[in-house]
């Protein structure tokens, strides 16, 4: 495995690795993806092995532009065209009925497929040069914090990836929003980097299905996900240390009024902005998780816009 800057030569090499059935970690605007040729079932099987991901958890397929959607989907309805037209490239994944082109392993044998066009120049160059759709989950071991830098990928998956393209820090910092367009009404399967408010402004009201933990529709809905190894507790109000021996860390939304007693403090948004907080979330969690703490106290963020995605990740991180 090598980590390399995303030069033209490196992207060409990455494309040829994809062509040979290998695995390439690459930046997107949301998080780093672990990519393989989506039309090559053996290559996709390696994604599951490397991530230790259960086979029932389907993959997101990345394409260069909306015109490729028709290759992968049996039906592209009006809502899909509208959303793709407004938000692609961008942090939005659409679930639609799959075409026969998509191998069963990619969709965990579901008859639907999740597709998106990433808004990252390195990802788009890689997709173009590869000439094939790329299946890519987040490039982390299953259930752990998602990577927003090439270093996170290196630490977590290291030798098991053929090449890591370093495109710097991910701009959005949380995964794409997933909308299911296969039912009568659109449904939110995962809150993410595009706000529900923005989506509803285009297609009207979106259902938020009740989650049944024993039978998740999207495995991102598993109660424990995005988790640090360190215990994490969400505390409302200004968290004050109760004392004791424990080495505690603080994950604050705004600049906290007092930080005495904390062994480590991360502030998600000095500017008091949920977008900035989302961009900093996983990096801050990685640092706290590496700070040899006994517990992480996390301050809740306002639950609108990208705050919905942040709170979703924090709640799952707290369910260990
Ligand atoms: O931002 C992102 O979406 C990142 C980057 C790399 O693009 N990818 C990502 O993939 O977050 P992953 O595998 O970590 O999450 C994919 C989610 C899973 O929860 C999966 O269940 C859901 O997408 N999904 C995939 N196909 C689906 C389908 N046919 N129906 C419902 N959910 C699906
Ligand atoms: Mg993931």
Ligand 1 pocket mutation, candidates 25, 26, 47, 58, criterion most atoms within 8 A of CB:
58
How many beta carbons lie within 10 A of that of residue 190, not counting itself? 21
| Residue 136 in contact with ligand 1 by CB distance below 6 A | yes
**84 ligand 1 Cβ < 6 A:** no
Reported as a single tens digit per residue, the pLDDT across 39-81 is 999 999 999 999 999 999 999 999 999 999 999 999 999 999 9
CA of 220 to the centre of ligand 2 (A): 7
Confidence of residue 211 (pLDDT cuts 50, 70, 90): confident
**Is the Cβ atom of 30 under 6 angstroms away from ligand 1?**
yes
Q: Indicate the pTM of the whole model.
A: 0.94
Query: Helix H segments across the chain?
Result: 8-19, 41-51, 69-72, 78-87, 121-130, 150-157, 196-203, 274-289, 307-318
What's the 299 CA to ligand 2 centre distance in angstroms?
A: 23
Ligand 1 pocket member 239 (CB < 6 A): no
Distance CA(163)–CA(184), nearest Å, equals 42
Average pLDDT, the chain: 93
Burial class (CB in 10 A: 0-12, 13-18, 19+), 97: middle
Tokens of 87: 């938000």
């Amino acid at each position: 495995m090598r980590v390399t800057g995303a030069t033209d030569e490196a992207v060409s090499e990455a494309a040829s690795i994809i062509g040979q059935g290998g695995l390439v970690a690459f930046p997107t605007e949301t998080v780093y993806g672990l990519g393989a040729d989506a039309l090559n079932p053996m290559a996709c099987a390696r994604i599951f092995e490397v991530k230790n991901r259960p086979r029932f958890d389907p993959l997101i397929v990345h394409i260069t532009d909306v015109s490729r959607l028709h290759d992968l989907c049996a039906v592209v309805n009006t809502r899909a065209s509208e959303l793709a037209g407004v938000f692609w490239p961008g942090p939005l994944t659409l679930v639609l009925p799959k075409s026969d082109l998509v191998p069963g392993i990619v969709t965990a044998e579901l008859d639907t497929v999740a597709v998106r066009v990433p808004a990252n120049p390195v990802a788009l160059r890689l997709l173009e040069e590869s000439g094939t759709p790329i299946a890519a989950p987040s490039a982390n071991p299953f259930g752990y914090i998602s990577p927003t830098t090439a270093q996170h990928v290196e630490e977590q998956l290291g030798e098991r990836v053929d090449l890591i393209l370093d495109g710097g820090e991910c701009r959005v910092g949380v995964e794409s929003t997933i909308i299911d367009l296969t039912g009568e009404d659109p449904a939110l399967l995962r809150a993410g980097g595009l706000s529900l408010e923005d989506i509803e402004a285009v297609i009207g009201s979106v259902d938020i299905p009740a989650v049944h933990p024993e039978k998740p529709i999207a495995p991102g809905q598993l109660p424990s996900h995005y988790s640090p190894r360190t215990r994490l507790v969400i505390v409302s109000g200004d968290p004050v240390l109760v004392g004791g021996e424990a080495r505690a860390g603080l994950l604050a939304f705004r600049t906290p009024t007092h930080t005495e007693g904390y062994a480590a403090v991360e502030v998600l948004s000095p500017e008091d902005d949920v977008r900035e907080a989302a961009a900093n979330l996983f990096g801050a969690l990685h640092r706290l998780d590496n700070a040899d703490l006994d517990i992480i106290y996390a301050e809740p963020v306002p639950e609108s816009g990208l705050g919905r995605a942040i709170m979703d990740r924090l709640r799952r991180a707290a369910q260990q």
